[in-house]
Structure 1
Amino acid sequence: MSALEDRGAAIGEAARERTVARLAARLSEEVPHAAVVSDDQGVTVSGRGILRDPRLVWIGSLLK
């Protein structure tokens, strides 16, 4: 079962990477005044006034 588990882990990691890339791209489009950086840990959004943007506060509350 090790090969099957390895394949499942690889599929899951590829899906995570695609999701992180899509999230970063969408955030860049929707919030152009924010700096969006994606890396192996996830997506970081920074910038002045982003905590006043209700869309970012809402999604942040879901992801914490």
Structure 2
Amino acid sequence: MVDSAMAVETMAQGQVQAYTLLRDWAIQEGSGATLKVLENALVAKGHEDMVQVLGPPAEGCSVV
């Protein structure tokens, strides 16, 4: 897996990079790639603002 600091930096560069990163993570981690795991990683890196932007997911929606 890509180191989390690099992952956050990549996501900050734009939507295409963020989508690609999240898609690759979902493929690699399968059912372990959850919104909660993503939120925890963002909080651990001090990006609570990004967690707030994610907001509660709509029912039946996927992160990627």
Q: What TM-score, normalized to structure 2? A: 0.32
State TM-score, norm by structure 1: 0.32
| Greater RCO, 1 or 2 (C-alpha within 8 Å, sep 6+) | 2
Could you say which structure has the higher strand fraction? 1
